[in-house]
Amino acid sequence: MSYAVKEMFLTLQGEGVQAGRRAVFARFTGCNLWSGLEKDRATAVCQFCDTDFVGMDGEGGGRFQDAKAFAEAVIAQWGRGEDSRFVVLTGGEPMLQVDDALIDALHNAGFEIAIESNGTLAVPRSIDWICISPKAGSETVQRSGDELKLVWPQRNSDWKTMQDWDFRNHLLQPMDARGDQAASDANLAAAIAFVQANPKWRLSLQTHKILGLA
Ligand SMILES: C[S@@+](CC[C@H](N)C(=O)[O-])C[C@H]1O[C@@H](n2cnc3c(N)ncnc32)[C@H](O)[C@@H]1O
Ligand SMILES: Nc1nc2[nH]cc(C(=O)O)c2c(=O)[nH]1
Ligand code: SF4
Ligand SMILES: [Mg+2]
Q: From the CA of 28, how far away is ligand 3's center (Å)?
A: 11
Given the cut 0.95, state whether the ipTM is greater than it.
yes
Cis peptide before 153 (omega within 30 of 0): yes
Strands (E), 61-162: 62-64, 86-90, 112-117, 129-132, 144-152
Closest ligand by atom to 116 CA: 1
Please give the domain boundaries of the chain with CATH numbers for all domains. 3-211 (3.20.20.70)
> In this predicted structure, what is the pLDDT of residue 59?
98
pLDDT for the residue numbered 148: 98
CA 201, CA 210: separation in Å to the nearest integer? 21
Q: Answer whether 116 contacts ligand 1 (Cβ < 6 A).
A: yes
**Tens-digit pLDDT profile for residues 145-193:** 999 999 999 999 999 999 999 999 999 999 999 999 999 999 999 999 9
The pLDDT of residue 22 is 98
Model confidence band, residue 107 (pLDDT cutoffs 50, 70, 90)? very high
Residues designated catalytic? 25, 31, 46, 49-51, 116, 208
Mean pLDDT of 44-65: 98
Sign of CA dihedral 181, 185, 186, 190: positive
**Least distant ligand from the CA of 131:** 1
With contact defined as beta carbons under 8 Å apart, do 64 and 7 qualify?
no
Instruction: Give pLDDT tens digits for 59-79.
Output: 999 999 999 999 999 999 999
* Mean pLDDT, rounded, of the chain: 98
pLDDT recorded at residue 150: 98
Q: For position 190, what pLDDT does the model report?
A: 98
Q: Give the type of residue at 110.
A: G
Q: Ligand 1 within 6 A of 93 CB? A: yes
